[in-house]
């Protein structure tokens, strides 16, 4: 994957985390994909289960805003450096991560 390819993919995938559109986000995952995060550390397998997880996750966090900082190509994929703006109670927390 080239830097331009990584940037192009990430520029479509990362914004799908913004708002509450789990179907749009799940469309980036293969039917047999494995997805894991801190809420499901052992992961969920398959687009149907991933979509169910995204429906719950995005439904609880509809005000998230995810922005691409940099896409760094790696063998077999890329590393995505992002900025997340996450509303928490009466403020917005900004987090930079990969």
Q: pLDDT for 3-36, tens place per residue?
A: 999 999 999 999 999 999 999 999 999 999 999 9
Q: pLDDT for 44-72, tens place per residue?
A: 999 999 999 999 999 999 999 999 999 99
Provide the whole-model pTM.
Answer: 0.88
Q: Compute the chain's Rg from CA coordinates.
A: 14
pLDDT of amino acid 71: 95
Count how many domains the chain has: 1
Contact predicate 3/71, CB 8 Å: yes
Q: What is the CATH number of the domain that holds 11?
A: 3.10.450.50
Q: How far apart are CA 92 and CA 82, in angstroms?
A: 16
Domain of residue 87: give its range: 3-97
Q: How far apart are CA 98 and CA 83, in angstroms?
A: 9
């Amino acid at each position: 994957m080239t830097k331009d390819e990584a940037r192009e993919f990430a520029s479509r995938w990362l914004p799908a985390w913004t708002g509450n559109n789990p179907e749009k986000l799940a469309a980036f995952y293969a039917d047999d994909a494995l997805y894991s995060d801190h809420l499901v550390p052992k992961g969920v397998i398959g687009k149907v289960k991933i979509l169910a997880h995204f429906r719950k996750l995005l439904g609880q966090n509809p005000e998230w805003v995810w922005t691409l900082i940099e896409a760094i190509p790696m063998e077999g994929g890329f590393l995505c450096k992002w900025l997340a703006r996450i509303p928490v109670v009466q403020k917005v927390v900004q987090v930079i991560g990969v």
